[in-house]
Amino acid sequence: MLKPGKTYEEVYSSFRWHIPEYFNMGVDICDKWAHQRYRMALIYEDDKGQVERYTFWDLKRLSNRFANALKAHGIECGDRVGIMLPQSPEAGICHIALYKIGAVAIPLFTLFGTEALEHRLLNSESKGVVTDEANLPKIVEIQDKLPHLQVVILTRGEGGERVPKFWDLVEKGSPYLEPIKSKADDPAFISYTSGTTGPPKGAFHAHRTLLGHLPGIQMPHNFFPKEDDLFWTPADWAWMGGFMDVLLPSWHFGVPVLAHRAKKFDPEEAFHLLAKYGVRNAFMPPTALKMMRQVKDPRSRHDFSMRSIGSGGEALGEELVEWGKEVMGLTINEFYGQTEVNLVVGTCSEIMEVRPGSMGKAIPGHIVEVVDDRGNPVSVGSVGELGIKRPDPVMCIEYWKNPEATAEKYVNDWWLSGDLAKKDKDGYFWFVGRKDDVITSAGYRIGPAEIEDCIMKHPSVSMVAVVGIPDPIRTEIVKAFIVPKPEVTLSPELEEDIKRTVKVRLAAHEYPREIEFVKELPMTATGKIMRKELRKREIERRSKANQSRS
């Protein structure tokens, strides 16, 4: 438990890990609170506005029943089971039940197509899948290609006689269960990387990972939990940012979570939810915040009062920090983490200065440095790779069935993140870009994040992605793909004005020599911009153009 202090240095130096030998996430996030019969755990609003409420006592009995049903269908300790569900009570119950019996959860995005699903279910050798009516056809389509898959369970809707229904199984299951006595290092879930730098790999995590996450939750949410806290995120619970940055840590602390089933993120509706349920804490990806920033005068229609907003997944930027102060009435705390090693850097406005553009400082309990290729810390202000030192309870056990990839991530005792950063004299980390996103132009090494942040400050820009495009003279040139604000009229003058903005505010060698206005940017299911995809498309387009000219 992170203890508040007067300064960041005081909090960091006083923190000590307490990881017990035996620890079960399912018991921790549910059963330990169930004796408080009316303690609220979940408020669920479906896409039609219907509301359901569940206490921890409810979740204990429901998860026990479902756990017994899973065992009756052959799911045993160590077996992998996919959870392909939107934010919903069933998704939460699945997580609890699987951990209680020692099975391994495989969170799966409902946005996944059949190829993405096939890769993950085949690679993990999943024995079961729990899904809903909307996503069942995808599973049925690839079922013959999944030799290990034995049972598919349907939460809501009609699936036919061969597909058992979740709530029928719950009704038949016994409410009594003796959870497995798992060790803290025993496996709990596999979370697949987003695949922006190659085929998705399965980060194999232990039960202790939840405990390793806690300081990284408490810091960006100003010493969470506090009285009357209630947590919500629009992020899919299949993403680490959804289930490990919000759902499970909230339940660890006995704090209720708002779940909302929405087909698409609606910024106006987001303000409505914050006000309607009195949401006090939220994890909001930068993409969602940028969309909310476009809503004009939300306080004239929505009476919201929040205590903390944490943001991660992409660089936040100065514009959003200022918007947070003006509109949300708070300082948005930024944090950094990865699927494999999550929430290791962040800010906490209660005890430290929040410097716009910085990811923050090392979260208490984690040793983080900017290192070179040999694992040696680089000098202050120098660019290197962000490294996290082992052992660390939040660090994944390994990449599932991929020892070569696991070994490649370590240099000595440093986990190399693949992200380039620099650290200033005060210990703040500054994101430069993905190692493979770095642009080499006329001898300069240019990170896209700083340019994107600069362009985002232009009043005509809604979203932007910057990539390097091959150039015969400069090696690469900087190209910006920009989503303009709806009311903006495109013109050569606007393009020149954006270029001039970067020249003046950053440097002449960093300005985008090419700008393309687009309607949308390619995103991963977690809301990260796929710069690699933009670069690939541009190279292919130029190649075809050259062929047609020749």
What is the mean pLDDT of the segment spanning 220-230? 97
Contacts (Cβ under 8 Å, ≥6 apart) of 548: none
Domain residue limits, the chain = 21-207, 437-549
Nearest Cα to Cα of residue 318 among 334, 336, 306, 305? 334
The tens digit of pLDDT for each residue in 32-43 reads 999 999 999 999
pLDDT score recorded for residue 532: 82
CB-based contact 190:204 (threshold 8 Å): yes
Contacts (Cβ under 8 Å, ≥6 apart) of 467: 437, 439, 448, 478, 479, 481, 531, 534, 535, 538
pLDDT score recorded for residue 198: 53
Domain 437-549 in CATH 3.30.300.30? The answer is yes
Structure tokens at 77: 């300790």
Structure tokens at 320: 């959003």
pLDDT score recorded for residue 444: 64
For the cut 90, the answer to whether the pLDDT of residue 130 exceeds it is yes
pLDDT score recorded for residue 313: 73
> Could you tell me the CA-to-CA distances from 28 to 60, 95, 266 in Å, in that order?
11, 12, 33
pLDDT score recorded for residue 550: 60
The tens digit of pLDDT for each residue in 432-469 reads 877 777 787 765 667 787 788 889 989 999 999 999 88
DSSP character for 32? G
Tokens 């006000």 locate to 275
What is the rounded CA–CA span in Å between residue 282 and residue 311?
A: 9
Handedness of CA 60, 66, 70, 73 (dihedral sign): positive
Q: How far apart are the first and last CA of the chain?
A: 66
Higher-confidence position of 537 and 158: 537
What is the rounded CA–CA span in Å between residue 247 and residue 358?
A: 26
For the cut 90, the answer to whether the pLDDT of residue 221 exceeds it is yes
What is the rounded CA–CA span in Å between residue 523 and residue 525?
A: 6
Which residues on adjacent β-strands are paired with residue 389? 414
- Count of other CB atoms within 10 angstroms of residue 426: 12
**Confidence class for position 154, pLDDT limits 50, 70, 90:** very high
Contacts (Cβ under 8 Å, ≥6 apart) of 383: 370, 420, 421, 422, 432, 445, 447
What is the rounded CA–CA span in Å between residue 437 and residue 435?
A: 6
**Confidence class for position 281, pLDDT limits 50, 70, 90:** very high
What is the mean pLDDT of the segment spanning 97-104? 98
The tens digit of pLDDT for each residue in 328-385 reads 999 999 999 999 999 999 999 999 999 988 999 999 999 999 999 999 999 999 999 9
The tens digit of pLDDT for each residue in 185-214 reads 999 999 998 654 456 899 999 999 999 999
pLDDT score recorded for residue 156: 83
pLDDT score recorded for residue 442: 64
What is the rounded CA–CA span in Å between residue 364 and residue 16?
A: 8
The tens digit of pLDDT for each residue in 101-126 reads 999 999 998 888 888 899 899 999 99
**Confidence class for position 431, pLDDT limits 50, 70, 90:** confident
Nearest Cα to Cα of residue 431 among 340, 360, 515, 483? 360
DSSP character for 360? B
CB-based contact 467:535 (threshold 8 Å): yes
Three-state SS for 475-510 is EEEEEEEEEECCCCCCCHHHHHHHHHHHHHHCCHHH
Task: Give, for 525, the enclosing helix (H) or strand (E).
Answer: none
Residue 40 burial by Cβ neighbours in a 10 Å radius (0-12, 13-18, 19+): middle
Nearest Cα to Cα of residue 513 among 461, 449, 457, 442? 442
The tens digit of pLDDT for each residue in 504-536 reads 877 777 899 999 999 999 987 777 788 888 988
Residue 8 burial by Cβ neighbours in a 10 Å radius (0-12, 13-18, 19+): buried
The tens digit of pLDDT for each residue in 387-412 reads 999 999 999 999 999 999 999 999 99
What CATH superfamily classification does 21-207 receive? ANL, N-terminal domain (3.40.50.12780)
Region of residue 157 (phi > 0: left; psi between -120 and 50: alpha; otherwise: beta): left
CB-based contact 219:363 (threshold 8 Å): yes
CB-based contact 23:31 (threshold 8 Å): no
Nearest Cα to Cα of residue 286 among 262, 307, 310? 310
pLDDT score recorded for residue 160: 67
For the cut 80, the answer to whether the pLDDT of residue 323 exceeds it is yes
What is the rounded CA–CA span in Å between residue 476 and residue 445?
A: 10
